[in-house]
Amino acid sequence: MSTLSKLITDFLEHLEVEKNASQLTIRNYDHYLKRFLGFAGDINPKDINQELVRKYRVFLARWVDEQTGKPLKKVTQNYFVIALRAFLRYLAKNDVKTLAAEKIELGDQDPRPIKVLDTEQLQRLLAAPDISTPEGLRDKAILETLFSTGLRVSELQKLNRDKINLSRLEFGIVGKGGKERVVFISDSAANWIDRYLRTRADRYNPLFIRYSQGEDPTRGGEKMRLSVRSIERILEKYVRKAQLPIKASPHTLRHSFATDLLINGADIRSVQEMLGHANISTTQIYTHITNRHLKDVHRAFHSGNKEEL
């Protein structure tokens, strides 16, 4: 019988080879499951039971980060439990005797506030790059594309210039979990991508490249591709420049994209498809924001809220 450590390795390889999971997903599962391995020890999987899981959850609830001195947030604790459940499902599918994943329930968690830029904040952010330089044009194109498409930053980072159809204002991507979907871009985003590409004399494949270092001698120019962290830093730079009151990230623009569509009348199923959400419940996190908008509309236009003439 294989021990826990061997089966965790097998599971991670399963994610990579059979599920085509991203390296980030694999690293996350490795991190979460190694925490359980460190707690439980290299035990036989048949020894995983509800009492052990209960003690593990107490351990997670009491765990304190040595660097920050802060405990794990409830949502983070659930990430560890979600990873454990996925691992147990894998074991059951491969006829390994262990605790049924269905017997482990997620803990209650405080809803995470969704950061969304209002129209004025968004316009300040989009106007922040200096478009008189190639780098500024690139950054402008990045910001416009993020808001126009609702792409995850990892999806934006992987874009290649030959896959972007500016005339059709759409292109296909392979998103989270290896799922394909069609992404649409606005006229404004297409215009800024085109202006940015006109400044490039190279034949590199990546759509968004770095300018800080020299050329890439390899044929495809893969070394010139901006990293996810670089894109995040670019956005942080313009958030500061625009003096926005919130700490925005690429995902903030994704939230703003979804909220903008819903407020302007898009149905939630269509927004779900455009975001690449597997479950409608994930998309429904935006409804409380749009409900606040409806309240504002009611306050502004319902006759019962107006002063008597």
Which residue ranges make up each domain of the chain? 4-103, 119-298
Query: In this structure, which CATH number among 2.30.30.60, 3.30.565.10, 3.40.50.1110, 1.10.150.130 belongs to the domain 4-103?
Result: 1.10.150.130
Matching CATH topology for 4-103 and 119-298? Answer: no
Give catalytic status of residue 251 as yes or no.
Answer: yes
Give catalytic status of residue 286 as yes or no.
Answer: yes
pTM given for the model: 0.64
Give catalytic status of residue 302 as yes or no.
Answer: no
Which pLDDT belongs to residue 112? 64
Catalytic residue from among 14, 200, 210, 251: 251
Assess contact for 291 and 283: CB atoms under 8 A: no
Catalytic residue from among 168, 254, 255, 288: 254
Which residues of the chain fall short of a pLDDT of 70?
1, 108-113, 213-219, 288-309
Catalytic residue from among 35, 152, 158, 255: 152
Catalytic residue from among 176, 200, 210, 241: 176
Which pLDDT belongs to residue 51? 97
| Cα–Cα distance, 96 to 118 (Å, whole number) | 51
Query: In this structure, which CATH number among 1.10.3330.10, 3.30.70.380, 3.20.20.70, 1.10.443.10 belongs to the domain 119-298?
Result: 1.10.443.10
Give catalytic status of residue 254 as yes or no.
Answer: yes
Can you spell out the DSSP letters for 53-65? HHHHHHHHHH-B-
Give catalytic status of residue 176 as yes or no.
Answer: yes
Buried b / exposed e over 43-61, threshold 16 CB at 10 Å, is eebeebeeeebeebbebbe
- Note the pLDDT tens digit of each residue in 270-286: 888 888 887 777 777 77
Which pLDDT belongs to residue 213? 67
Give catalytic status of residue 31 as yes or no.
Answer: no
| Cα–Cα distance, 156 to 159 (Å, whole number) | 5
**Ramachandran region of residue 28, left (φ > 0), alpha (ψ -120 to 50) or beta?**
alpha
Which pLDDT belongs to residue 179? 80
Which pLDDT belongs to residue 137? 97
Which pLDDT belongs to residue 309? 39
